[in-house]
Amino acid sequence: MTLLVTGGAGFIGSHFVLDWLAMSDESVVNLDKLTYAGNAHNLEPLTGDRRHVFVQGDIGDAALVGALLAQHRPRALINFAAESHVDRSIRGPGEFIQTNIVGTFQLLEQVRSHWGQLPQAEKSAFRLLHVSTDEVYGSLGANDPAFTENPRNEPNSPYSASKAASDHLVRAYHHTFGLPVLTTNCSNNYGPMQFPEKLIPLMIVNAQAGKPLPLYGDGRQIRDWLYVKDHCSAIRAVLDRGQVGQTYNVGGLNEKANLDIVHSVCDLLDELSPRADGQSYRKQITFVPDRPGHDRRYAIDARKIERDIGWKPAETFETGIRKTVQWYLDSPRWVAQVQSGAYREWVATQYVQA
Pairing mode of beta strands 255-257, 222-227: antiparallel
281 is catalytic: no
Neighbours of 218 (CB within 10 A): 11
DSSP, residue by residue, 233-278:
HHHHHHHHHPPTT-EEEE--S-EEEHHHHHHHHHHHHHHHS--TTS
26 is catalytic: no
49 is catalytic: no
What's the rounded Cα separation, in Å, for the pair 124 and 8? 25
The amino acid that residue 228 corresponds to is: V
Neighbours of 319 (CB within 10 A): 11
Active-site residue (options: 32, 58, 83, 134): 134
What's the rounded Cα separation, in Å, for the pair 132 and 175? 18
Q: How many CA atoms lie within 13 A of 71 on its CB side?
A: 11
Q: What ranges in 181-257 are assigned the alpha helix state H? A: 199-208, 228-241
Active-site residue (options: 32, 87, 149, 159): 159
Active-site residue (options: 135, 149, 167, 315): 135
The alpha carbon of 337 is separated from its chain's Cα centroid by a whole number of angstroms, namely: 20
Give the residue numbers annotated as catalytic, written as ranges. 134-135, 159
